[in-house]
Amino acid sequence: MAIHSLVGIGQKILENATSDNASLSKSPWHWDPEFESIVHPYWRTFDMVPEVYHYLVGVFISIVGISGVLGNLLVLYIFASAKSLRTPPNMFIMSLAIGDLTFSAVNGFPLLTISSFNHRWAWGKLTCEIYGFIGGLFGFISINTMALISLDRYFVIAQPFQTMKSLTIKRAIIMLVFVWLYSLIWSTPPFFGYGNYVPEGFQTSCTFDYLTQSKGNVIFNIGMYIGNFVIPVGIIIFCYYQIVKAVRVHELEMLKMAQKMNASHPTSMKTGAKKADVQAAKISIIIVFLYLLSWTPYAIIALMALTGRRDHLNPYTAELPVLFAKTSAMYNPFIYAINHPKFRESNWKRNSHA
């Protein structure tokens, strides 16, 4: 009986080992023991993603990444070289472009592209952590800079008589330094044991660990979620809601004034400065809308996983929001090119001189 029991136990161990090996052989992350150590066990429950999906992601990210790099380089060049664009509010735009440029250059092409064509993360554990850190840092810089832009537009348009002193270069720099330091503070805790940077989705990119349910990890991620998504988005929504109200009130007042004066074109009563402010606000609203369109699915997926609701979380549902998020850095140059009069004018002058 004892011999039979030992044989039975031995067979069970062998079966479990064979099953584990078979499971790992299907997994896209089974190639580097050091890197494998940071792969969350949850992803091991899924089969390897078919190669065709990796190739599609690689091509898509190549287009998005290269477009983001070239477009934001153009924005920085034009804003820096055109004297009429070197204004304090436009420093926020330049900060946004720097963040988007770095995000595209590091978190898109070539690291993610090459990993996708290799069907796995190709750069090791340390680079995974740096990749996740840069993605977090410049993602936070973008959303917090947008909150700054919305506050600036709010004070200029909705509270023109209650605003403090006008925005100066020095004030703009101080505000941007605060945003960059604030974003840096929220991006570094995983290097000190609070949270982690780990592979996600198709295991070809890395981000914050939103799966581990330890107390420290959950507290850090919830704090990060509130501090770098909920609060800035709340500020943005409040500011632009107030801006829309103020513009509407202004238009009604101008219409009444025009009717009293029998003016045939009430819109001509608007000052050029007011038009420029409203146009800048419209551009900012479009930028924010597209940013939220890109990042909200990712935020929802991460929050669901963080709260233990993983029913619909698999490599595909995790990867799709990642791809949406990567596009956020390439929209802005096209928005400026279409909607920003001075940007269009400066770009046209550059092209005509060339």
The secondary structure of 218-285 as a DSSP string is HHHHHHHHIIIIIHHHHHHHHHHHHHHHHHHHHHHHHHHHHHHTT-S-GGGGS-HHHHHHHHHHHHHH
Q: Work out the percent of the chain whose per-residue pLDDT is above 90.
A: 48
Given this model, what pLDDT does residue 349 score? 62
Given this model, what pLDDT does residue 155 score? 87
Give yes or no for a contact between 107 and 326, defined as CB atoms under 8 angstroms apart.
Answer: yes
Given this model, what pLDDT does residue 162 score? 60
> What confidence tier does 9 reach under pLDDT thresholds 50, 70, 90?
very low
pLDDT tens for each residue of 73-104: 988 988 888 887 888 888 999 999 999 999 99
* pTM, entire model: 0.83
If you average pLDDT over residues 111-117, what whole number do you get? 94
> What confidence tier does 160 reach under pLDDT thresholds 50, 70, 90?
low
In this predicted structure, which of 131-135, 249-253, 302-306 has the lowest mean pLDDT? Answer: 249-253
* Domain boundaries of the chain, sorted by first residue: 1-30, 31-353
> What confidence tier does 273 reach under pLDDT thresholds 50, 70, 90?
low
CATH architecture under which domain 31-353 falls: Up-down Bundle (1.20)
* Residue 73, both tokens: 């380089």
In this predicted structure, which of 125-134, 262-271, 286-295, 313-322 has the lowest mean pLDDT? Answer: 262-271
